Amino acid sequence: MSNLHPELFLRLYLSDTGMIGPGKAALLDGIAATGSITAAGRGLGMSYKRAWLLVEAMNAMFRDPLVDSVRGGAGGGGAALTDTGRRVLALYRQIEAASRDANADRIAALRDLLADGPGER
């Protein structure tokens, strides 16, 4: 799915209680790909409960929900990103990419200053 260990880790604090970062973005990517909150969470090594809590938090954070879900049953359940969910994910990915591009030279300069091996100074 998505890389949870990016070179540039970006967490956006959108309000006092609302934030989005690589984990929530990866969960949204996974839901879009699998059609399932459970499967998306499992793909990220997340418990069923944790995945659902994150979806509920994201749905409450924005004016409109990001994920529309149908609980399982005889017909099976499922989940999909809403138009707002797709827009939020796209905007986050654009901000992430622009930040990475804008800082590529600085990141490379920091890497050039690293010790050659583990524990060396």
C-alpha 117/C-alpha 121 separation (Å) is 9
Q: Angle formed by the axes of helices 83-112 and 22-34, to 10°?
A: 130
How confident is the prediction along the chain (121 residues), in pLDDT tens digits per residue? 445 455 788 999 999 989 999 999 999 999 999 999 999 999 999 999 999 999 999 999 999 999 998 776 656 679 999 999 999 999 999 999 999 999 989 988 988 998 875 555 5
Distance between CA atoms of 89 and 66, rounded to whole angstroms? 9
In SS3 terms, 21-77 reads as: CHHHHHHHHHHHHHCCHHHHHHHCCCCHHHHHHHHHHHHHHCCCCCEEEECCCCCCC
pLDDT value of residue 76: 65
What angle, 0 to 180 degrees and rounded to 10, lies between the N-to-C axes of helices 22-34 and 48-61?
100
pTM check: above 0.75: yes
Contact assessment for residue 1 and residue 45, using Cβ atoms and an 8 Å cutoff: no
Residue 56's pLDDT is: 96
